[in-house]
Amino acid sequence: MKIGIVFGGQSYEHEISIVSAIAMKDVLKEELIYIFCDQNRDFFHIPTNTIKSKLFSSGEYKKCDSLTLQKGSFVKKGLLSQKSLDVDVYLNLAHGADGEDGLFSSMFELYNLPYIGPRKSACSVSINKFLTKGYAYSCDIKTIDYKYYTKDNQIEVSNFPVIVKPTTLGSSIGVSIVKSKEELEYALDVAFEFDEAIIIEPFIAGIKEYNLAGCKINGEFKFSIIEEPQKAEFLDFDKKYLDFARTSTALKADISTQMEEKIKDSFKKIYNNIFEGSLIRCDFFVLEDEVYLNEINPIPGSMANYLFSDFNSTLTSLSNNLPKTKKINITYEYVNKIQSAKGK
């Protein structure tokens, strides 16, 4: 199978996407074709045998073949001819904006490109932490209490500590733990530098956190192990950045069978049918034996490969069970009736 890995994009998480893409060389046995989207949203074909992080930081990627899009494929254009990239399925590996906000999903669907990744509706509920809370509530999944603010709101916090989060960023970018009123103003400045809106939650020290990845194949769920991430107060950007390069298998969390089933049931409710076609990771809190959704990662770092015993098999099986786009037959019956009624 030939997998086209689409990564980069115009995003604060652009560099993390590069790290995730390179990590795929170590965990996928299939033939990989790398398609890089730079900050100008120009596409380039990056040779698999030469891909490395310095290629992008130095700007040398611009010497690679540029690509354009046509129905059904990315295309290299020469002086007298053009050649389509030979790809069986595309993997959306662009973290943050472009990849997780629905832009690339729309691009794949508009150009009839089969792809692994969140569809447009899934992006809508997972890119925005405020909307994720509402979606979880509708799925009967608990979340930590929160308040939502924009730059125009008067923000008052009376009980500390709290955690301040930009609504549409991942990888802990712009996130701060605030322990006093004196720290709040700076934390708000940082968060609003990255986003137009934020959420503020109580920070619960020592709360248990568990990560579970999975997908639905032929109507059945394929789960990873459940991991308890090792952390200090919380996973900051640097720790998560290293996490995106992970390829070694994680250790299974030491939890009861009952709690494992609770977490898996919560995952199933979140995944539902809205995330079909994608491999996602859900991060859960457990407080007083109750499961709470922290966030949905529709394109997890390094595709959460380190949580699976056979990641290659899981991804290729998913690629063979992607949702079909409904074909709408346009007949112009309504327009013809109007024309007939008007005698035109």
Could you tell me the residue ranges of all domains in the chain? 2-116, 124-141+205-319, 145-202
pLDDT by residue for the chain (344 residues), tens only, comes to 999 999 999 999 999 999 999 999 999 999 999 999 999 999 999 999 999 999 999 999 999 999 999 999 999 987 778 999 999 999 999 999 999 999 999 999 999 999 999 999 999 999 999 999 999 999 999 999 999 999 999 998 999 999 999 999 876 888 999 999 999 999 999 999 999 999 999 999 889 999 999 999 999 999 999 999 976 555 554 555 455 566 677 899 999 999 999 999 999 999 999 999 999 999 999 999 999 999 999 999 999 999 999 999 999 999 999 999 888 999 999 998 887 877 65
The pair of structure tokens assigned to 36 is 């890089």
Q: What is the CATH number of domain 124-141+205-319?
A: 3.30.470.20
Contact yes or no for 73/87 (Cβ under 8 A): yes
Q: What is the model's pLDDT at position 136?
A: 98
DSSP string, 223-256: EEEEE----SSS--HHHHHHHTT--SPPPPP---
- Same CATH topology for 124-141+205-319 and 145-202: the answer is no
At position 338, the amino acid (one-letter code) is I
In CATH terms, the fold of domain 2-116 is Rossmann fold (3.40.50)
CATH 1.10.510.10 holds for 145-202: no
Structure pTM?
A: 0.92
Q: What is the model's pLDDT at position 235?
A: 52
Buried b (16+ CB within 10 A) or exposed e, 115-146: bbbbbeebbbbbbbbbebbebbeebebebbeb
Residue position matching structure tokens 């248990």: 208
Q: What is the model's pLDDT at position 232?
A: 59
